[in-house]
Chain A
Amino acid sequence: MTFELISGSQAAAMAVQRVGVDMVAAYPITPQTAIVETLANFEARGMLGGEFVSVESEYAALSYCNGAAAAGARVFTATSSHGLAYMHEMTHWCSGARFPIVMVNVNRTLGPPWCLDPDQGDSLSQRDTGWMQIYCSNAQEAFDTVVQAFMLSEELLLPSLIVFDGFYISHTYEPVDVPEKELVQQFVGSPGFQAQVKPNFTANLHGLSTGETQMGLVKSRQEDMLRAPAVFEKINERYFETFGRSYETIKASIPSGAKTAILAAGSTAETVEWFLPELKDTGLIQLRMFRPFPAGLLAGIVREHELERIVVIDRNCSPGIGGIFAQEVKAALYGISRPPVVQDLIMAGGVDVTRELLEKIVQAYPEEGLVDQKWGVEL
Chain B
Amino acid sequence: MEEMLEFRLHGRGGQGIVMAASIFAEAVFLDGRYARAFSLFGAERRGAPVTAFIRTSRERLMPRSRIYQPDYVVVFDPTLSGSTILAGLKEKGVLLINSGEQEMEKLLQELDPEKRCKVYVVDATGIARKHGLTVGGFPVVNTVMLGAIARISGLASLENLTGSIKKRITVSIEANINAVTEGSESVKEVGPLVK
Contacts and interface: CB of A to CB of B under 8 A. Distances in A.
B138 interface: no
Interface in B1-60: 21-22, 25-26, 29, 34-40, 42-43
A271 B65 CA distance: 7
A274 B66 contact: no
Interface string A347-379: 000001111000000000000000000000000
B62 interface: yes
Nearest to B18: A171
Interface string A255-279: 0000000000001101101110000
Contacts of B40: 167
Given A5-B22, A171-B39, A173-B37, A352 B65 contact: yes
Contact of B64 (A116, A175, A267): A267
Contacts, number: 62
A168 interface: yes
B28 to A, nearest CB: 9
B19 to A, nearest CB: 10
Interface string A61-85: 0000000000000000000000000
Interface residues of B, number: 22
Given A173-B21, A273-B61, A352-B65, A168 B29 contact: no
A173 B22 contact: yes
A172 interface: yes
Contacts of B63: 270-271, 274-275, 355
A106 to B, nearest CB: 14
B36 A173 contact: yes
Contacts of B68: 354
A6 to B, nearest CB: 9
A286 to B, nearest CB: 12
B71 to A, nearest CB: 15
B39 A5 contact: no
A44 B62 CA distance: 36
Interface string A277-298: 0000000000000000000000
Interface residues of A, number: 26
A352 B62 contact: no
Contact of B36 (A3, A30, A137, A172): A172
A294 B36 CA distance: 31
A18 B18 CA distance: 27
A354 B68 CA distance: 9
A168 B34 contact: no
A168 B64 contact: yes
B22 A271 contact: no
A158 B154 CA distance: 51
B42 A175 contact: no
A354 B61 CA distance: 15
B22 A168 contact: no
A142 to B, nearest CB: 13
A157 interface: no
Contacts of A271: 63-65
A169 interface: yes
B33 to A, nearest CB: 10
B64 A355 contact: no
B61 A274 contact: yes
B21 A354 contact: no
A350 to B, nearest CB: 12
Contacts of B37: 5, 172-174
Contacts of B164: 5
Interface in A164-194: 165, 167-169, 171-175
B60 to A, nearest CB: 8
A288 to B, nearest CB: 15
B38 A5 contact: no
Q: Which among A116, A169, A273, A274 has the highest number of chain B CB atoms within 10 Å?
A: A274
A171 B29 contact: no
What 7 A-B pairs have minimum CB-CB distances, sorted nearest first? A172-B38, A5-B26, A267-B64, A274-B63, A173-B22, A174-B36, A271-B63
5 contacts: A173-B22, A173-B37, A267-B64, A354-B66, A354-B68
Interface of B: 21-22, 25-26, 29, 34-40, 42-43, 61-66, 68, 164
